[in-house]
Amino acid sequence: MSQKNKSLRGIPSTTLRRLRYTPTYFFLIWRWTFWIYAFVWIMVVPTRPKNLLLVLLAITFIQSLLATLYTPVLKIYFPSLPLKSKKKNPKQDNLRSRRTVHLFRWKQNEQQTLAADEDAEIIPPIGRSNNPYRDIAVYGTDVIICGLVMYFSAIVGTPPFGDGSPFYRYGFSSIFAAAFAYRYRGGLAAAIGYDFFAVLGLFFPPPTAHLPYTFMPQDLLGSTLDAPLIAILTAYMTTLLNSLTRLKRREQDSVRRQRSLLRVSETLVAGASNIEQLLQQSAKQFRQGGHFEYLVIALITFEEHTIHRYPQIETSVETGWVEASPAKSSTDLIHQVAQSAEKLIKFEPQQSLEGEIDSIGLARLYLPFKKEDQVYMVIGAEMSRKTSIEERQENFLTIAGTQLMMALENLHLTEQAADLAAAAERGRIAREIHDGIAQLIYMLSLSSETCVALLRRISDTSAEEALLLAPVGERLDKLVTISKQALWETRHYMFTLKPLMSGSTTLTQMITNQLREFEAISGLPVHLEVEGTELSSNRDQRHSRKIAQVGTAIFRITQEALTNAYKHAGATQVTVYLQYLPQSVQVLIIDDGKGFNTEPDGFTLGANGGQERIYSGHGMRGMRERAEELGGTFEIKTRHQGGTSVQARIPI
């Protein structure tokens, strides 16, 4: 390793890049060099009234010291000079666990938040605030002090003004500062102000000046031309340096954005097992790629009302934290963007403890992403900086968000493909049962009934034969009962395996078909009453999927309740009430059977001399889980007038 690298080893690379584009060091070197030159010049030449010159030396020393402490380069080398520390919000433990109270107020010198590999903008030699009048006062005072020192120090020598002063070139540092900060306008204004004191010394020489003096044009030109030329050259070099900085920043931004998008693409390609995991991984990559302090991703769904459609946050994830006191929370802004379907860019200046507007504010960017002419997703980013979020960061979020939408769509398609494959397999199994074992059991049941009919016909012809055939008749009756039960069970399982939705089939049609088949199989009469209007699915795929999930749950709960009424309750009639409410769907199944026992030892019911657990096994637990998984409620109870009621309500 070279000696140079060893010497710079302790300085961070970000600091070196900032110093490379910081004219502060040149400003300080120039000011202190010519202050030392003036000091030596005054001390070496003994033929001068040193009292005034020593006072001017003290004034310029204090001026240079204050400028050095106030310059941003000190902020770069010494980011904080702590006196004591205080804890901040515990939510910031991962980002800003502690904040120190500084010996000097650096607010005016803080720069925008930069990436680790990002070059800074040109930093002015003297700190600037967001108050232009204060800046003019600071830079103007610097020019006035330098001009007055030049004017009063030209008391000995020729000419008694301008470059006859030992502080003449020392004052050029004020021109450097103005030109570095305000380019041509600031530099020329400072040069004109500085030359004013030189011309003033020509017509009104300072007290105790070395006179008489014979005016010479070259002295006047030498004392007035240097300042504007230096201002022009300084402003020109600063403009070139700033252009180079912006060019390098654009190049770095392009490379960094490509790398970030590559990492985002890798995350999205790798995929996730569910939407929540995919959003968590994407939010982390988006925040790192855009150098945001806080990022939130929200999936939007719309709640249907009579006239308006209101956006609701279906799923949201967030990462990071930004220190601010926002007027609106991120949730409010997400709803605002989802409702208006327009991006939101805001910059909120923050007030300091003294009530002054701080240069660092809260920049926010919230982007809507549409699908089928309605907002599907909102991505919000926030960070502390001096200006609004830049276009490059907006472009990054737009590209990354579009990729995320594609990944979410692929995940939905994968889930739908799995559901379709499962439905197809269930349909195939149902067809196999229908065409195979169901037909055989049906033939067995039909043959058993035929045998019973023949046996009864034979028994009717002779009492002696009837007595002999009685045991066979009892056996055949049991065989008929068993075969019918087997046929019912087979058809029940076959119907359970069938896909529920077919084309434009509605929930009312599904329940109606279900009850017809149940009546045909069980012989138990069922009455259906429908109240309200069924909500049709719109073009929103998530809304359609929600309706399908609710319909499936209502269908399966009804199916399980009918099965229990037939197998265990001994009911003679069942009534099903299907109600479409404004915000939910409700189904109520009532039978006139035996009811069930609600004692803590379990729900039991006598059947054929045995005890069976009903409504407390997997069936009732499954019905309750189906309702609660979709945010609904489930209730089962024995009616006072006899029988059982099963009620489920699921929100849409």
| 292 in the same domain as 220 | no
| 350 in the same domain as 237 | no
What is the rounded average pLDDT for all residues in the chain? 77
User: Which has more confidence, 651 or 546?
Assistant: 651
Last residue within a domain, chosen from 412, 437, 465: 412
- Condensed to tens digits (0 to 9), the pLDDT of residues 275-324 reads 888 888 888 888 888 888 899 999 988 765 545 667 888 888 999 887 65
| 329 in the same domain as 196 | no
| 293 in the same domain as 179 | no
| 301 in the same domain as 227 | no
| 65 in the same domain as 145 | yes
Asked, for residue 154, whether it belongs to a domain, the answer is: yes
Q: Give the residue-averaged pLDDT of 213-226.
A: 88
- Condensed to tens digits (0 to 9), the pLDDT of residues 340-356 reads 889 999 888 766 544 44
Q: Which CA distances in Å does 223 have to 171, 216, 218, 538?
A: 12, 11, 8, 82
Q: Which residues of 519-553 are buried (b: 16+ CB within 10 A; e: fewer)?
A: eebbebebebeeeeeebeeeebeebeebbeebbbb
Asked, for residue 454, whether it belongs to a domain, the answer is: no
Secondary structure (3-state) at 558: helix
Contact assessment for residue 643 and residue 569, using Cβ atoms and an 8 Å cutoff: yes
| 213 in the same domain as 149 | yes
Alpha-carbon gap, residue 608 to 611, rounded angstroms: 8
Asked, for residue 1, whether it belongs to a domain, the answer is: no
Identify the bridge partners of residue 612 per DSSP, sorted by sequence position. Answer: 605
Q: Decide if pLDDT at 4 tops 80.
A: no
Asked, for residue 261, whether it belongs to a domain, the answer is: no
Asked, for residue 193, whether it belongs to a domain, the answer is: yes
| 178 in the same domain as 72 | yes
Work out the percent of the chain whose per-residue pLDDT is above 70: 76
Contact assessment for residue 455 and residue 472, using Cβ atoms and an 8 Å cutoff: yes
Asked, for residue 585, whether it belongs to a domain, the answer is: yes
Identify the bridge partners of residue 295 per DSSP, sorted by sequence position. Answer: 319, 381
| 199 in the same domain as 306 | no
- Residue 504's pLDDT band (cuts 50, 70, 90): low
Q: What is the pLDDT of residue 96?
A: 40
| 613 in the same domain as 551 | yes
Burial class (CB in 10 A: 0-12, 13-18, 19+), 641: exposed
Q: What is the pLDDT of residue 535?
A: 73
**CATH assignment at residue 384:** 3.30.450.40
Is-above-0.95 flag for pTM?
no
User: Which has more confidence, 121 or 137?
Assistant: 137
Please choose, from the candidates 177, 166, 175, the residue with its C-alpha nearest in 3D space to the C-alpha of residue 194: 175
| 400 in the same domain as 314 | yes
Asked, for residue 289, whether it belongs to a domain, the answer is: yes
Q: Lowest-confidence range among 239-243, 343-347, 490-494?
A: 490-494
Which structural domain, as residue segments, surrounds residue 622? 505-652
- Condensed to tens digits (0 to 9), the pLDDT of residues 450-467 reads 888 887 887 777 777 777
Number of H helices, E strands in the chain: 17, 14
Domain count, the chain: 3
CA atoms within a 13 Å half-sphere pointing along the CA-CB vector of 286: 31
CB-CB neighbours of 113 under 10 Å? 15
344-351 and 357-371 strand pairing: antiparallel
| 276 in the same domain as 238 | no
Last residue within a domain, chosen from 220, 242, 264: 242
